[in-house]
Amino acid sequence: MVQPSPTVAMRAITKRFPGVLANDAVDFDLAAGEIHALLGENGAGKSTLMKILYGFYQPDAGEIRLHGTSVRFRSPRDALARGLGMVFQQFMLVPSLSVTENVLLSLPRARLRLDYRDAAARIRGLAARYGMVVEPAARVWQLSVGEQQRVEILKLLALGAEILILDEPTAVLTPQEVRDLFTALRRLAAEGRAVVIITHKLSEVMAVADRVTVLRSGRRVESLRTTATSARALARLMVGREAFDQVQREPVPPGPEVLAVEGLSALNDQGLPALRSVSLAVRGGEIVGVAGVAGNGQRELGEVVAGLRPPTGGRVRINGRDRTRASALEVRNCGVGHVPEDRLGTGVAPNLSVADNLLLNRYRDPEFGRGPLLDRRAMQDEARRLIDEFGIRTAGPAAPVRTLSGGNLQRLILAREIGTHPRLILASHPTRGLDVGATETVHQLLMNQRRAGAAILLLSEDLDEILLLSDRIAVLYAGEVVGIVQTDRVTVETLGLMMTGARAAGAGSGVR
Amino acid sequence: MSPVTVAVLAAAVRAGTPVLFATLGEIFAERAGVLNLGIEGMMLASALAGFAVTAQTSNPWIGAAAAAAAGGCLSVIHAFLSVTLRANQVASGLALTIFGTGMSAFLGRGYVGVPGSGFQATPVPLIAQVPVLGPILFQQDPLVYLSYAAVPVAWYVLYRTRWGLEIRAVGEHPEAADAMGVDVARVRYGCVIAGGVLAGLGGTFLSTAYTSMWIENMTAGRGWIALALVIFATWDPVRAVVGAYLFGGVNALQLHLQATGTSLPTYLLLMAPYVFTIVVLVIATQETARKRLGTPAALSVPYTRTG
Amino acid sequence: MIALERREAPHPWAPLAIPLISIASAFAAGAVVLWLAGVNPMAAYADLLGEPFGSGFGIAETLVKATPLILTGLAVLLPARMKLWNIGAEGQLQLGAIGAAWVALFTPIGHSPVAMLGVIVAGMAAGALWALGAGALRAWLNVNETITTLLMNYIALLFVDYLIYGPWKDPASRGFPLSATFPLDARLPIIIPGTRVHLGLVLALVAVVIVTVALSRTRWGLEVRVIGDNPRAARYAGMNLARHTLLVMGIAGGLAGLAGVGEASAIAGRLQRGLSPGYGYTAIIVAWLAKLNPAAVVIVAVLLGGLYLGGDSLQISLGLPIAVVNMLQGLIFFFVLGGEVLAGYQVVIGRRRVEPVSTGSRAAR
């Protein structure tokens, strides 16, 4: 039997960025008609490798062959012209433009004058063929995340892409939407196209991929057919050792109610309702996880409780006192720690020192200064203590925070927000973008606080994380609490259904 | 409508034209994501170039071409610093203004007080006789007619051509545009230079049409007023006309009041255009905040292709 | 092939080398422009640079010009630390002069023992209020302060004209637009006899010290630095951005106003046109070259002050307008901007050396 030559063959690809070797002589093959998963932890080099294939980066060394001929893509435009398309984690769509305009933008420069009607018709046709319905005149910012992803794929299909690369496509989808996506992908592969999924989720690899290539620390570890391996074996290849034992959630006697949200409503940045009469409560010693796909109100809920967004109705009570209109400072003074969603963008001042950032919530305390002047020595000492206690790897208290790695940055933020043993912790997507080891640490720290009696409100898109850590789970859909359930008594399927708006039988809403 | 009113409205159009050119130009630059605070410097340099070349060649059209070229060349400096080197755009624009102002005053020292020639008012045959609108709109200098044409052209390019689509994409989300194969740098350079050329036309209008002379700092802040008017226009060429002529109206009204004798002190009247611009800016800022779409999202943020 | 590649860390000599190379390049470019305009660059530069540093009197005069530059430099620097652009130092300076003139000429304080204090306080307050206009618009309505402060410069200059052509015109001036001269009690004293160096210099240096200490050692300074580094983090940490905006703009206006007090009360002795040849705009360059470091402002202000002095000399010797100095300043600014960016890169010639590849999967070539 003749082995057909791979559609894409990457050989000895090497890419270096300042301070890091992202890809170290990596080989990668892709055949037509297959779904090939590129698996690895965060930071393993998967995205970089595919961005090189797509022409977004240039490799420092190595060769790429497409259908047997050596190619060098100087930009995504070249790759697109040769039938290669990529859907990124952050969608490459212009939010203020319509779906039609975004598709037109990606089509090759045919003529100067734009023909909106023709383009819209083409989009509708393609969408119907693959069951990915979307309204061409809608502006992208009006679409849901799942719909935006559809637009991205339609864009590539309109260009006639034969090879599709998807970077972490399921991170922002509900379980049902993931199933729909996989169905569409299988249909595309059956038509002879080649699909690459970049992912770190083992279950998805086993569910949809034909082959899997594992990357670790910039190097290719192995490529196998998924039929010839197991999730456990892949985990070992991915991490290089046996996976850690996951945290155990032991029963903790519930304490007094720390956070109570009653009938809370709020608008989002666009002025549209983001929260509609949300009610829930968190007691000391328990973790309440808020599940829901991005865009359904999680972010706004966290911001309102933290005092960063004014509500339009309802009440927030912290430790029994009304804090609905409290400022961020007042909320913090109630003994609230807030681990923000966007580490670098919101959580730290990147060019200031580690010490300054570690004490961003305590520099007003009398122990760190007399009158207007700061006691720098006291700050340095306390910073050193926190660095030791939380194992933050840094050159020292004076080092600028931007030199810290993602995992250490999160340690710093946790040290700051948790180190004072707050009564209430707001944790927003605390392990996003972290590797397995760092994720473990974060989970452990949160569990420790729970055992010590803190109340924790956990906002996360990662259902696995929510199931692992939470005592109770509240599901948000379109700004409403669809249900609040005990973790021990719910299944992933039920949660997935709730995340699409279906109310589960027996799941109370607003029941404490 | 009384002849006085017509005369003032005609003067409003004339006074608003240089600002209209500059505003249109800056709309393109900012739509592509580049903030150019150097308009004042470019206008001054172009005003001098237009005046000087017109004086040498006795042909205001060649002068206008020279002025457009001067604006374009100066804008290349800003484009190079902002787009290629990714330096701070506010600083680069300010440097351009300081440089342009200084250089024009220096090179123009021999032209102060020199009588010059320039454009003559050219009525459009037939249309100029239309009551009211005729005298206001169609008995103006040729450059004014050019500005009339510039607005619909700008609108068409921005909303109906591929160029315009690329410009809008680059200014909102350069990463996406880049990923879709658009040459971000080329689009930005093009728009900044277009801005410089248009600012140049605005500058030369001041020295060869509105007046026929050169004075140091003769733009008197019009470059800055254009920046405010871009916001008022919500980055739309058609709305730019409204802002520019409103400004022109305030200007013309203030001149008229001075000429006809009024109890208001001269200098307080002269403040009117600037106060007007601040008020307009405040209103426009609130409007932009309310509308979901306003400021190009990537404005003044240098673009680097990263992971 | 030649390519620019990002450095991992800036060259160790960068902080010193960049400004020097940039300034040298700016002068070279300026020489070209001068030559094209029919001026002998060497003669011009000899005057430009020789005058300020060539004699005792030259140095003193340089300090005189450096005084308002230090103050306006701080007025740009302080808001800039919070990523606010105060382009209005020129206008705030004028308001300072107006405030000083009002107290000196039109209130009884002008003839009292506390005249000097009154003049200083009024000038700073006037400058502060002027800046607060733009500051409030920014803090409460999010209106772009770059444009508003700038437009208020034009209004301020017109305000001065209005006063000196109108209600405050000196009857004894025979038609020239000047206010009456300030009473002696209201004039800032000369501190170096035989020169024009006045108390303003001391006040400026004191301001530098206060600003330096405040930024690095106080809670307020920490907040300013956090807001400037990452406003979202500042809000998340509970800081009040609106209040800081107002405070910082007010202080900046006060400092620029103090510069105006100095120019009106010590140098000119009256309110008149042309108190400032553009100090408020040069201040932007001062703040930038000083890399927003208050102590460095002093050195840069002296250098640029010397440049202004040289420009005065050029006016006399070669008949060149003071605008030449502005042109050179603009060129310096360009080259410094470019130089800073290029310092983050290195030139790589030829093919890059390939790192030895570790053992791992490697297909045979």
Q: Please indicate if any CB of chain B lies within 8 Å of the CB of A244.
A: no
pLDDT of A496: 78
Enter the DSSP assignment of A399.
S
The Cα–Cα gap between B37 and B42 comes to 10
pLDDT of A2: 46
Chain C from 220 to 259: CB within 8 A of any B CB: none
Shortest Cα–Cα distance, B272 to chain C (Å): 9
| This prediction's pTM | 0.87
pLDDT of A146: 83
Shortest Cα–Cα distance, B91 to chain A (Å): 20
Task: Give the residue-averaged pLDDT of A170-194.
Answer: 86
The Cα–Cα gap between C118 and B166 comes to 59
Closest CA to A5 of A32, A34, A37: A32
Closest CA to A290 of A124, A131, A149, A465: A465
Interchain contact, A361 vs C237, CB within 8 Å: yes
Which positions in chain C touch B229 (Cβ < 8 Å)? Answer: none
Q: In what order do the strands lie in the sheet with A194-199?
A: A84-87, A163-167, A194-199, A35-39, A211-216, A219-225
Which positions in chain C touch B86 (Cβ < 8 Å)? Answer: 341
Nearest to A112 among B163, B175, B178 (CB): B163
Residue A60 pLDDT exceeds 60: yes
- Structure tokens given for B182: 């658009």
Residue C364 pLDDT exceeds 80: no
Interchain contact, C226 vs A356, CB within 8 Å: yes
pLDDT of C356: 34
Closest CA to B50 of B271, B241, B208, B282: B208
Average pLDDT, chain C: 88
Residue C53 pLDDT exceeds 80: no
The Cα–Cα gap between B302 and B226 comes to 22
Q: What are phi and psi of A315, to 5 degrees?
A: -140, 150
Assess contact for A368 and A386: CB atoms under 8 A.
no
Which H or E element spans position B62? helix B60-79
Which positions in chain B touch A75 (Cβ < 8 Å)? Answer: 178, 181
Enter the DSSP assignment of C110.
G
In a domain, B34, yes or no: yes
C-alpha angle B260-B265-B266 in degrees, rounded to nearest 5: 65
Residue of chain A whose alpha carbon sits nearest to that of B156: A113
pLDDT of C10: 67
Shortest Cα–Cα distance, C192 to chain B (Å): 33
Domains held by chain B: number: 1
pLDDT of A195: 94
pLDDT band for position C8 (cuts 50, 70, 90) = low
Residue A44 pLDDT exceeds 90: no
Interchain contact, C229 vs A350, CB within 8 Å: yes
Residue A495 pLDDT exceeds 50: yes
Q: Please indicate if any CB of chain C lies within 8 Å of the CB of B100.
A: yes
Enter the DSSP assignment of C358.
P
Task: Give the residue-averaged pLDDT of C250-264.
Answer: 97
Nearest to A51 among B168, B172, B307 (CB): B307
Shortest Cα–Cα distance, A7 to chain C (Å): 17
Assess contact for C94 and C157: CB atoms under 8 A.
yes
Q: Report the share of chain C in percent with pLDDT over 90.
A: 63
Chains linked to C by 3 or more Cβ pairs within 8 Å:
A, B
Q: Please indicate if any CB of chain B lies within 8 Å of the CB of A95.
A: yes
| Residue A80 identity (one-letter amino acid) | L
Q: Please indicate if any CB of chain B lies within 8 Å of the CB of C190.
A: no
Task: Give the residue-averaged pLDDT of A65-87.
Answer: 87
Q: Please indicate if any CB of chain B lies within 8 Å of the CB of A321.
A: no
Interchain contact, B101 vs C323, CB within 8 Å: yes
Assess contact for B288 and B273: CB atoms under 8 A.
no
Interchain contact, A56 vs B305, CB within 8 Å: yes
Q: Which residue has the tokens 């803190």?
A: A454
- Structure tokens given for A360: 């961003």
Average pLDDT, chain A: 87
Q: Report the share of chain A in percent with pLDDT over 70.
A: 95
CA-to-CA dists, residue B31 to A106, A130, B195, B302, angstroms: 19, 35, 11, 14
Q: Is A246-335+420-512 the same fold as A8-239?
A: yes
pLDDT of B307: 41
Assess contact for A355 and A404: CB atoms under 8 A.
no
Residue of chain C whose alpha carbon sits nearest to that of B98: C330
Residue pairs spanning A and B at CB distance below 8 A: 75
pLDDT band for position C5 (cuts 50, 70, 90) = low
- CATH 3.40.50.300 fits domain A8-239: yes
All structural domains of chain A with their residue ranges: 8-239, 246-335+420-512, 346-404
Q: In what order do the strands lie in the sheet with A257-267?
A: A273-283, A257-267, A313-318, A321-322
Q: Please indicate if any CB of chain A lies within 8 Å of the CB of B180.
A: yes
Poorest-pLDDT segment among A360-374, B194-208, C336-350: C336-350
Which positions in chain C touch A307 (Cβ < 8 Å)? Answer: 238
pLDDT of C4: 63
How does pLDDT run across B13-63, given as a tens digit for each residue?
Answer: 999 999 999 999 999 999 999 999 999 999 999 999 999 999 999 999 999
Host domain of residue B21: 16-220
Interchain contact, A345 vs C232, CB within 8 Å: yes
Burial class (CB in 10 A: 0-12, 13-18, 19+), A325: exposed
Task: Give the residue-averaged pLDDT of C260-274.
Answer: 94
β-strands A424-428, A455-459 pairing = parallel
Closest CA to A261 of A498, A459, A457, A469: A457
CA-to-CA dists, residue C174 to C101, C159, C180, angstroms: 19, 21, 11
pLDDT band for position C353 (cuts 50, 70, 90) = very low
Task: Give the residue-averaged pLDDT of C79-83.
Answer: 96
pLDDT tens digit at each of 307 positions of chain B:
788 889 999 999 999 999 999 999 999 999 999 999 999 999 999 999 999 999 999 999 999 999 999 999 999 999 999 999 999 999 999 999 999 999 999 999 989 988 888 888 888 888 888 888 888 899 899 999 999 999 999 999 999 999 999 999 999 999 889 877 788 999 999 999 999 999 999 999 999 999 999 999 999 999 999 999 999 999 999 999 999 999 999 999 999 988 887 788 888 889 999 999 999 999 998 887 766 557 888 888 888 765 4
Interface test with B, best of C84, C137, C148 (most B CBs within 10 A): C148
Which positions in chain A touch B178 (Cβ < 8 Å)? Answer: 75-76
Burial class (CB in 10 A: 0-12, 13-18, 19+), A224: middle
Nearest to C333 among B86, B95, B109 (CB): B95
Assess contact for C303 and C208: CB atoms under 8 A.
no
Which positions in chain C touch B109 (Cβ < 8 Å)? Answer: 320-321, 323
pLDDT of C326: 92
Poorest-pLDDT segment among B21-35, C41-55, C69-83: C41-55
Residue A243 pLDDT exceeds 60: no
Interchain contact, A329 vs C239, CB within 8 Å: yes
Task: Compute and round to an integer the Cα radius of gyration of chain B.
Answer: 19
Interchain contact, C238 vs A14, CB within 8 Å: no
Burial B78-116 (b: 16+ CB within 10 A, else e): bbbbbbebebbbbbbbbbbbbbbbbbbbbbbbebeeeeb
How does pLDDT run across A421-462, given as a tens digit for each residue?
Answer: 999 999 999 998 887 788 888 999 999 999 999 999 999 988
ipTM: 0.91
Candidate CATH numbers 3.50.50.60, 1.20.1250.20, 3.40.50.300, 3.40.50.880; the one for domain A246-335+420-512: 3.40.50.300
Q: What number of other Cβ atoms are within 10 A of residue B260's Cβ? A: 8
Task: Give the residue-averaged pLDDT of A50-78.
Answer: 89
Nearest to B162 among A57, A92, A114 (CB): A114
Q: Please indicate if any CB of chain B lies within 8 Å of the CB of A134.
A: no
Assess contact for B168 and B41: CB atoms under 8 A.
no
pLDDT of A328: 94
pLDDT of B124: 85
Residue A182 pLDDT exceeds 60: yes
Enter the DSSP assignment of A343.
I
Nearest to C37 among B99, B107, B275 (CB): B107
- Structure tokens given for C114: 């506390």
Residue A158 pLDDT exceeds 90: no
pLDDT band for position A245 (cuts 50, 70, 90) = low
pLDDT band for position C283 (cuts 50, 70, 90) = very high
pLDDT of A388: 93
Residue A206 pLDDT exceeds 60: yes
CA-to-CA dists, residue C41 to A175, C20, C21, C36, C166, angstroms: 74, 19, 19, 10, 43
Interchain contact, C363 vs A27, CB within 8 Å: yes
Q: Please indicate if any CB of chain B lies within 8 Å of the CB of A270.
A: yes
β-strands C2-6, C345-349 pairing = antiparallel
Interchain contact, B179 vs A101, CB within 8 Å: no
Shortest Cα–Cα distance, A170 to chain B (Å): 19
- Structure tokens given for C227: 């807001």
Question: Percentages helix, strand, coil for chain A, rounded to the nearest 5?
Answer: 35, 25, 40
pLDDT band for position C358 (cuts 50, 70, 90) = very low
Task: Give the residue-averaged pLDDT of A125-140.
Answer: 84
Q: In what order do the strands lie in the sheet with A336-339?
A: A336-339, A424-428, A455-459, A287-291, A472-477, A480-486
Closest CA to C289 of C16, C48, C10: C16
Q: In this structure, is the dihedral angle defined by the CA atoms of residues B203, B206, B209 and B214, taken in order, positive or negative? A: negative
In a domain, B243, yes or no: no
| Residue A330 identity (one-letter amino acid) | E
Q: Please indicate if any CB of chain A lies within 8 Å of the CB of B161.
A: yes
